[in-house]
Amino acid sequence: MADNDWELERSDLVATLAHELRSPLTGVKGFVQAVLNRWDKLTDEQKKFMLTTALVDADRLSRLITEMLDVARLDTGRLQLHRRPTDPGPIVQRVVDNVRMSTSRTISLDVAGDLPQIDADPDKLAQVLTNLVDNGVRHGDGDVVVTVAPLDDAVRYRIEDEGDGIPEQVRENVFTKWWKGDRSMGTGLGLYVVGGLVNAHGGSITIGDRPGGGARIDVSWPVSPH
């Protein structure tokens, strides 16, 4: 890459990240300031709503920072995983509960019984699932359906949304760096990190069509050898 091209890409990256970080930070500051300024005039329900919204924005800010750090670690081969036998159910339940806090969209979850433990860094697994469920909410239409089921020597996480789906001709590009499709929002790094984390665990991720319209993303996560 020529020096001028690299400088332009770096400048675009800084501008994009600044925009993405500013939005949740503004939300946190605004709601906290409102609670402080109007504490005696707000009902307990209003206080809870404002503080919950601030927490959602703070979580988004934390995810963006983690995402940027993981991009650097993936690119330099310095990603560290703290893998251990992990119950696949509670993590996805927590992820769905957290994403539900930030949307009025219905997110349903069906976890099969008697699932084997998987070999995972729990924090990274939660990061992958949060990104995929959140994408289903933000870029799809209608409800989001999450299912977890055993699959050979793996556990399959399936995330489905209603909408236009992802055209087959661009699916090979979805997990590359900077890919946004025809959307202007986002950093274009989230799915790149998702693909990198899944591959680092020895898993796989595929994109398909949801019957009736929409996207279907399947993540196959290896079971624990212990």
Q: What is the DSSP letter of 166?
A: -
Report which of 154, 138, 137 is spatially closest to residue 146, judged by C-alpha positions: 137
Going by the DSSP 8-state scheme, the letter that residue 168 receives in this structure is G
Q: What is the pLDDT along the chain (226 residues), one digit of tens a residue?
A: 555 655 655 566 666 667 677 778 888 889 999 999 999 999 999 999 999 888 888 888 887 888 888 888 888 888 999 999 999 999 999 999 999 988 889 999 999 999 999 999 999 999 999 999 998 888 777 899 999 999 989 999 999 999 888 888 888 888 887 666 655 555 667 888 999 999 999 999 999 999 888 999 999 999 998 7
Query: If 0-12 CB within 10 Å is exposed, 13-18 middle and 19+ buried, where does residue 133 land?
Result: buried
3-state percent breakdown (helix, strand, coil) of the chain, nearest 5: 55, 20, 25
Tokens of 124: 């990274």
**Domains of the chain, with CATH numbers?**
3-76 (1.10.287.130), 84-222 (3.30.565.10)
pTM above 0.85, yes or no: no
